[in-house]
Amino acid sequence: MDVETKNNILVEKSSTLEIKLHPLVIINISDHWTRAKVQNNVKNPRVVGAIVGIQNGRTVEIFNSYELAYKEEGSLVNIDLEYLMMKSEQFKKVFATYDFLGWYSTGSGVTQDDLTTQKQLSEINESPLYLLLDTVAASRPETKDIPISIMESEIRIISDQPTMFFSKVPYQIESGEAERISVDHIARITPSGDSNTSQISTHLTGIHNSIGMLATRLRILKSFLEAVKSGKIAADPGLLRQLGSLCNQLPALHSDELKNDFIVEFNDSLLITYLASITKGTNGMNEMIDKFNVVYEKQKRKGNPLYYCGPKVLITEPSIVTEDSSSSEEMGDDHPQTIDDGTKGEIALELKLPKRRSMRRLNSRTSNMNDFTPKSSGSRPTTAPSSLYAMQSAGTLKGPVLIQSAGMYCILTLIIASAELLQWAPNIRLITFVPYFMIFYVITEACRLASLLGDVWEAVLPFYATLIPFAILVFLSREAHILVTVLFFSYVMIIYLQSGLMSLQIHLMIYILSFLFIYVAAVCVMMVWYRDATGLDFKLGRILDPPINWQQELTFVCSLAILGIGFLFLEQFVKLYANTLLDRSHKIQTLEQETEELKKEITKYKQEKDDIDLDAPIQKVISVLRNMANESDEDTREQLFFVIKTLSSNKLYAPELNFEEKSVDGEVASFIQNLIEDGKEDKHTENKLAVLEKRTGKIARFLPLVDEGTEKRIEAGLQRIEDWEFNIFEMTDLTEGRPLFATGLALFNRHDFIRKFNINESRLKHFLTVIEDGYDITNPYHNAIHASDVLHALNFFIVKGGLSAYITELDVFSAVIAAIVHDYMHPGLNNAYQINTQSELAVRYNDRSVLESFHVASAFKVLYEDSNNIFSGLTEAQRKEARETIVTMVMATDMAQHFDLLGRFKSKIAGQGFDPKDRKDRLLLLQIAIKCADISNPMRPQAMCNTWAHRVLSEFYKQGDMERKQGLPVSAFMDRGKPAEAKCQIGFIDFIVGPIFEVWTSFLPEVGKLMVNLEQNRIYWKNAMEQNSIQEVGGL
């Protein structure tokens, strides 16, 4: 750093903070300074206060400020922190979302004493903002900008010493509507004599002057009338008439208009009350219907369903289904409709249903009349009638008639256009179709509005309305009129077979006759109109080519009539066929219902006869296998009993490690056995509790103070954090022993967790710092570097390996935290040691996953502290799910669960695979992921693998020394007098790392390239072991 930066306390730096300053803060500070100046009679006093607002990530919004109590010792300001805390709590009660952001001061510049005050306030906010109002610059005429600076503190290394500086932060003025109006008013009010006033001031002043002038004139008129009345002034009839006319123009207090207005307002109030009563009554009716539905379903399950008497009405849902309109018309509007409760002559409920045809838009579940037919108890259901009229009245099936009609008009227009383009009807002019489209639009809108008049109008009007566009279309299509007529007629018949109209046959016959008549009339008009042979007569159309042939036209009309008769037969057949299908469907539904009732009766009978079956599926499987074994030959029986024995054991997924048969080295076998059995032995010496020292972590200790060059190298290194070759040891050196903070914060930012889960950034930094301080730096292996390495490997599996396709965002968030805390406060002595020495932790956690339980419990104790709570922005459901995921993943790092998890993982892959929607499947994937990340050292490049191997062995020797000291047998590979690093690594690769990564890479093929590193590292250790053997033989 240059000399200028050393000597200055204000440095230049591009800040990523986005600060929004509200005008109220500026007004408050100015008011504070003005009052201090007047009260203390000081020319340029200094005032100090607090600024509050909201911080969301890197965006800070300063909303308000208040004064602080402080003492001045020369230029040094000593703030009363107790008063600040009390004031903040009071402010928090009113504005719960506002936080203490920093402090403000007035003066002419930044001083060294301001840094002292900044450090004092860092106890409350780790990085407070400093707002300075330069009152000296404000008094200068040449000052045009607002003399306000906002600064944040920054730590830099100067001559190997941490030094605090201020750096300016850009800001922008942010204001709401109310703030803009008030600020405009205050800004424009100037000393008297200046006309530059605000709009609101001008408006209020004008109103005040007008009222004053009116009052003055009224007093003059009153004095004049009193003087005339007393005889002091002679009466002037003309003037009095003008005064009377003026008074008559004023609104009378008891006028008819006032009464009418009052009555209207009163009636509106009564109407609102009436509507509220109707709404309440309707709500009560809905509740009653819901209760009836409950009773109906209960009676139906008992085999005694409730049905309506009289009119065929059934309530199956909160929606109401009514019978056809003809029945409603016969009964009248107020005919009572009742519901039978299953007993003769007894009425359970009476409903008066108004005659509203729109209520025929029914629930799709009640689509045929058989659903509404009363049945006596125990009778068979009645079949559907031969005709579909009654069924249609109860619930008609209708097609989208208007939409299909519009499509028909457009398609016919395209066909006519093709006739012109292909030159077989060259005299058609598409421009003449503009009136046709206008009429088509008007008719479509009229048909749409007709649906409001009732179902009959809704079906009939569009049907007959097609005749108008048809007549125009035939006339305009000229030589193509026969083709257009055939297509139009066929389209209309097909579309309106879907109308659902009850008396469709009658309307079809009327429509066919009308259609033929209109066609003949249109042809006659065409003969009269299309007579111009020259093409020069604008009053007539060009002559048809070929001309109309009446013999051909009459034959065509007869053909259309025959086609219409065919559609009549088709309509009847469609109805009969639909009736048959619905009858069959009803019978099938009835049969299915009776089958379900029979199943329920059988189930009920079984439950009453037999005890409840509490056998688990595995018990039933074993029972079946045992029966098969009893009926099989000797060889099959022996194999089946082996299967039964395996299924009955508690080691279903545990492999059979027959080390004796496989001639495995005894020390390797002991090492693997201790890993998977937690080293549980019956050999104990005297009870000596290993009590862990309590490590609380240093508050507000973040990344060490580094120079700019190192900071850039850290940022460059973190850019490669998603590469497998990422070197965590280099990052440890760059961050001076804080790799977990750097990698953790980098991944939180890369995954955008701060925004997605509403995390307070200062709490996140504090949490990462406390967790990293909880890792014992004296442990050669289980320290913050190992936690960072596991975090990096797990993130690689998620991002580059493809695991993200199977898990959710919340799972990724939980997995990152699990990796960060998975070995928190590890004592450097494994579970076997804790159990064998009956340590305090082993007693507390009942010898089961001792250290893993301790890690996750201690981590959550830290996380639930207010200053570390990064879960505060989660919902309750998210918080519970995240905690469950973290606990499950940390517990999976226990090597005693290794083969059980591996067996479950293999079974899942060999079976139905993983379902991303199944939470249990996702948890199993995350358990395998963190387990693979935890033992991934042999998958690293050779140099890193060697470093980790040396660290593991160093920690093993440390535990071996403790075991020897306490009289315990020294565990395998932990005796520093018998070094066997290569043998340990080969055994770990062959029995632990290799098998699980073979399955893991088959599931995530992108991870498969890492197997090259594993093979190279195994070859390296094998060569090293052979070299050691040669040296030992040579020594002998």
**In this predicted model, what pLDDT tens digit does every residue of 652-661 receive, in sequence order?**
555 655 555 5
Q: Are 47 and 67 in contact (CB under 8 A)?
A: yes
pLDDT at 875: 93
- Residue that wins the pLDDT comparison between 178 and 467: 467
Pairing, β 48-56 against β 347-352: unpaired
Residue ranges of the alpha helices (H) in 775-918?
A: 784-799, 809-821, 831-836, 840-844, 850-863, 876-892, 898-910
C-alpha distances (whole Å) from 642 to each of 622, 645, 647, 815, 910 are 11, 5, 9, 40, 22
pLDDT at 767: 94
Handedness of CA 530, 532, 535, 537 (dihedral sign): negative
- Going from the N-terminus, what domains does the chain have, and what CATH number goes with each? 3-175 (3.40.140.10), 278-385 (no CATH), 401-583 (no CATH), 617-648 (no CATH), 708-1030 (1.10.1300.10)
| Long-range contacts formed by 375-379: CB under 8 A, 24+ apart | 375/307, 377/303, 377/304, 377/342
Q: 366-394: per-residue pLDDT in tens?
A: 333 333 333 333 333 333 333 333 344 43
Percentage of the residues of the chain whose pLDDT score is greater than 90: 27
Q: 998-1022: per-residue pLDDT in tens?
A: 999 999 999 988 999 999 999 999 9
Look at 430-444, 668-682, 965-979 and tell me which has the smallest mean pLDDT: 668-682
Average pLDDT value for residue range 833-839: 91
Average pLDDT value for residue range 727-753: 93
In angstroms, the CA 523 to CA 529 distance is 10
Look at 613-622, 631-640, 718-727, 976-985 and tell me which has the smallest mean pLDDT: 613-622
Percentage of the residues of the chain whose pLDDT score is greater than 70: 72
In angstroms, the CA 775 to CA 796 distance is 23
**Pick from 971, 921, 933, 928: nearest CA to 823:** 933
First to last CA, the chain: 62
| Region of residue 222 (phi > 0: left; psi between -120 and 50: alpha; otherwise: beta) | alpha
* Beta-bridge partner residues of 60: 19, 55
Q: Are 330 and 337 in contact (CB under 8 A)?
A: no
Q: How many CB atoms lie within 10 A of CB 136?
A: 13
Catalytic residue list: 782
Is 985 annotated in a binding site? The answer is yes
Q: 546-586: per-residue pLDDT in tens?
A: 778 888 888 888 888 888 888 888 877 877 777 788 788 88
Q: Are 132 and 72 in contact (CB under 8 A)?
A: no
In angstroms, the CA 879 to CA 128 distance is 30
Max avg pLDDT among 38-52, 467-481, 588-602, 739-753:
739-753
Q: How many CB atoms lie within 10 A of CB 994?
A: 15
Is 961 annotated in a binding site? The answer is no
DSSP secondary structure, 82-101, as one string: HHHHHHHHHHHHH-TT-EEE
Q: How far is CA 814 from the centre of its chain?
A: 17
If you ran DSSP here, which 8-state letter would residue 896 be given? Answer: G
Is 786 annotated in a binding site? The answer is yes
Q: How many residues does the chain have?
A: 1036
Max avg pLDDT among 348-352, 583-587, 831-835:
831-835
Encoded amino acid at 758, one letter: N
Helix pair angle (809-821, 784-799), 10° resolution: 160
Q: How many helices (H) and strands (E) does the chain have?
A: 38, 16
Q: Is the pLDDT of residue 352 over 90?
A: no
Handedness of CA 248, 251, 254, 256 (dihedral sign): positive
In angstroms, the CA 1006 to CA 704 distance is 36
- Residue that wins the pLDDT comparison between 190 and 944: 944
If you ran DSSP here, which 8-state letter would residue 357 be given? Answer: G
Q: Is the pLDDT of residue 204 over 50?
A: yes
pLDDT at 391: 40
Is 784 annotated in a binding site? The answer is yes
Q: Is the pLDDT of residue 886 over 50?
A: yes
DSSP secondary structure, 693-755, as one string: PP----TT--SPP--HHHHHHHHHHHTTTTSTT--HHHHHHHTTS-HHHHHHHHHHHHTTHHH
pLDDT at 330: 38
Average pLDDT value for residue range 610-634: 65
Q: Are 26 and 66 in contact (CB under 8 A)?
A: no
pLDDT band of residue 663 (cuts 50, 70, 90) is low
Kind and range of the H or E run holding 803: none
For the chain, what is the mean pLDDT? 77
pLDDT at 698: 32
Is 446 annotated in a binding site? The answer is no
Q: Using only the alpha carbons of the chain, give its radius of gyration.
A: 46
pLDDT at 125: 84
Is 934 annotated in a binding site? The answer is yes
In angstroms, the CA 160 to CA 836 distance is 48
Exposure b/e, 573-609, CB count within 10 A at least 16 = b: eebeeebeebbeebeeeeeeeeeeeeeeeeeeeeeee
Is 146 annotated in a binding site? The answer is no
C-alpha distances (whole Å) from 805 to each of 391, 441, 797, 802 are 52, 51, 11, 6
* Beta-bridge partner residues of 309: 338
Average pLDDT value for residue range 121-135: 87
Q: CA torsion, points 246, 251, 252, 257, in degrees to nearest 10?
A: 140
Look at 156-170, 804-818, 972-986 and tell me which has the smallest mean pLDDT: 156-170
Is 185 annotated in a binding site? The answer is no
Q: Is the pLDDT of residue 259 over 60?
A: yes
Q: CA torsion, points 595, 598, 602, 608, in degrees to nearest 10?
A: 140
Is 586 annotated in a binding site? The answer is no
